[in-house]
Structure 1
Amino acid sequence: MGSDDTLGKAKDPLVAVVQWVKTRPAGTKLGLGVGGAVLLLLTLWRTIKDHDTLFVLAEIAHFIGIGVLGYKLQQKRSVAGLSLQSQLLTATFLAVRLFCSFMMEYDIHTVLDGLTLAATLGVVYCMTATEMRLTYQKEQDIIKFYVVLIPCALLALVAKPSTSHFYLFRVFWAFCVYLEAVSVYPQLRMMQKAKVVERFTAHYVFALGLSRFLSCAHWILQILEGNKYLLQALGSGLWPVMVLVSEVVQTFVLADFCFYYVKSYAEGSGIVRLPAGIV
């Protein structure tokens, strides 16, 4: 029996499509990628009437990704391939956002954030306080969490919401928006260093990429529909622009990985191999 990270050759029409795309010039590949993204956006635009649903779907995708990690920990009793630094950053922005939700707007997002935070803390516990900590590849987890956290905190002091909420709440909200946008960076660098990505870790990061795409799609579709409030907000100060930039940056940070993830499974290998320049 082969490795559990190998699926065997998949006999599927998708394989033929991927092989055809691989033989196209770089410009054609870029055009096909952009065209596919636009087509998906248009599909979401026509099928989802309440665009706030995209935020809920994004949070569900994140929670499912954490669930995949939980399954890995239970089945393999190993945290190999996981970045503790990214998990700490994720727990931090979720905790801050959960606090802000309780203070500013309690809704379904608060519940989903609470569930995702609990699951993330469970992963952190496994990585630091159980026998699984012996499988943590610390030497490959080279980006320390405070290197990412501190710039986000400083930026939150400069660009934050101008609502009527208490000043500290507005800073906290901005902080968690910026931190969420870059929290996956240590994980991506760790995977780049390893070159070959463990299967369950790949599922988790792909779920994050899907989550970010859905969240970014919300803002793009609002603009396409000519949302007057949003368009006015984008021209009224630095904060709305920074929110949109954070969404776009995080989406593009994960886009390369998602491409190699889909490519590996379409080819039937199930092993994600990253080139040196992905991050």
Structure 2
Amino acid sequence: MLAASRWIKQRSPKEKTALGCVAGLVLLIILWRTIEDHDTLFVLAEAAHFVGIGLLGWKIYSKKSVAGLSLQTQILTGMFLVVRLYCSFMMEYDIHTLLDLLTAAATAAVLFAMLGSQVASTYQADLDTIKFYYVVIPCLLCAVVAHPYTSHWLPFRIMWAVCVYLEAVSVFPQLRMMQNSKVVERFTAHYVFCLGLSRFFSCAHWVLQLLDGNKYLLTALGSGLWPVMVLLSEVVQTVILADFCFYYVKSYADGTGILRLPVGIV
């Protein structure tokens, strides 16, 4: 492992990028050959999100600080989880509901630490410049226009759409805050990387469906605006987090472990 690590550090930036792409492709193939039920990937995605929130909890407990964390992102995360939980209880109830409940509880604990505990004074409000309502209002408008075509009550369908759109852009205030701070705090970087890993598992679900010859996704895209908006949300969130994950992995491949985000990442 040490020899491999040293070898990677000696590669050029282009070679490291190529190695990262190959590693992602290999992981995708491994998932394709080992996981029979593709819904398992959604469970892995939600579990990765929960692990990310757990890392934030550990940071707050061990460091007694919330420096580097975006309150706006945590508010957005709490909002889409609460709304999705409500819709899940009304529309469907399964393992995903339980995972969302655990993640929502962990997010509530982080919000309490940032708003009502002794460590709240370490919150860097001056760097957290993207207010949550700037994100919520466009998502709500999109949800009114494009929402699921199911037989459920219309408000439930709109709320479900809000969840999808909010989840896609909820990390945006956190990325902007990290960019404003110039150097990213380590546990915060781990948290966002977990979100990127969660997104990888979610996208892998759709890719593997196509590899297995399931044409449902392609058929759905031609059935109206809602499937197109869902796919667009997936793409937006993936692009945002993939860019961050590239710099995250690069910082460790370079041997520094110090993450700096360039201006153009968000």
Where on the TM-score scale, by shorter chain, does this alignment land: which range? over 0.9
AA aligned opposite 2:11: W
What is the total number of aligned residue pairs between the two structures?
266
| Partner residue in 1 for 2:136 | 149
| Partner residue in 1 for 2:236 | 249
Can you list the C-alpha shifts for 1:17-63, whole angstroms capped at 9, x where unaligned? 243132x4xxx666555444333222211111111000000000000
AA aligned opposite 2:37: D
Give the TM-score taking structure 2 as reference length: 0.95
| Partner residue in 1 for 2:44 | 57
Matching residue within 6, 11, 29 for 1:20: 11
Give me the whole-angstrom Cα distance separating, in 1, the residues matched to 2:259 and 2:228: 34
Can you list the C-alpha shifts for 1:174-213, whole angstroms capped at 9, x where unaligned? 1100100000000000001111110110110000000011
Matching residue within 186, 189, 209 for 2:196: 209
**SS, match of residue 10 in structure 2:** helix
Give me the whole-angstrom Cα distance separating, in 2, the residues matched to 1:219 and 1:16: 34
Matching residue within 259, 270, 276 for 2:246: 259
| Partner residue in 2 for 1:3 | none
CA separation of 1:31 and 1:16: change in aligned 2, threshold 3 A: closer
Q: What percentage of residue pairs aligned between the two structures are identical?
A: 67
| Partner residue in 2 for 1:43 | 30
Give me the whole-angstrom Cα distance separating, in 2, the residues matched to 1:149 and 1:221: 32
Deviates more, 1:227-236 or 1:34-43: 34-43
Give me the whole-angstrom Cα distance separating, in 1, the residues matched to 2:212 and 2:102: 32
Give me the whole-angstrom Cα distance separating, in 1, the residues matched to 2:187 and 2:112: 18
Can you list the C-alpha shifts for 1:203-262, whole angstroms capped at 9, x where unaligned? 100000000111111112112222133322111111112112211211110111111111
| Partner residue in 1 for 2:207 | 220
Give me the whole-angstrom Cα distance separating, in 2, the residues matched to 1:143 and 1:17: 36
Contact conserved, 2:8 with 2:16, CA < 8 A, in 1? no
Give 5+ residue unaligned stretches, structure 2. Answer: none
AA aligned opposite 1:261: Y
AA aligned opposite 1:122: A
Offset, 1:11: 4.6
CA separation of 1:256 and 1:18: change in aligned 2, threshold 3 A: farther
Give me the whole-angstrom Cα distance separating, in 1, the residues matched to 2:6 and 2:28: 24
| Partner residue in 1 for 2:184 | 197
Matching residue within 71, 85, 92 for 1:98: 85
Can you list the C-alpha shifts for 1:62-108, whole angstroms capped at 9, x where unaligned? 00000000001111110000000000000000000000100011000
| Partner residue in 2 for 1:89 | 76
Matching residue within 96, 102, 108 for 2:95: 108
Contact conserved, 1:195 with 1:276, CA < 8 A, in 2? no
Can you list the C-alpha shifts for 1:111-148, whole angstroms capped at 9, x where unaligned? 00000001001101100111211100000000000001
Give me the whole-angstrom Cα distance separating, in 1, the residues matched to 2:87 and 2:9: 44
Give me the whole-angstrom Cα distance separating, in 2, the residues matched to 1:32 and 1:269: 18
Give me the whole-angstrom Cα distance separating, in 2, the residues matched to 1:153 and 1:206: 27
1:275 aligns with 2:266: no
Can you list the C-alpha shifts for 1:138-165, whole angstroms capped at 9, x where unaligned? 0000000000111001000111110111
Give the TM-score taking structure 1 as reference length: 0.91
Give me the whole-angstrom Cα distance separating, in 2, the residues matched to 1:107 and 1:258: 30
| Partner residue in 1 for 2:152 | 165
1:128 aligns with 2:144: no
Give me the whole-angstrom Cα distance separating, in 1, the residues matched to 2:109 and 2:185: 20
Deviates more, 1:155-164 or 1:237-246: 237-246
Contact conserved, 1:94 with 1:176, CA < 8 A, in 2? yes
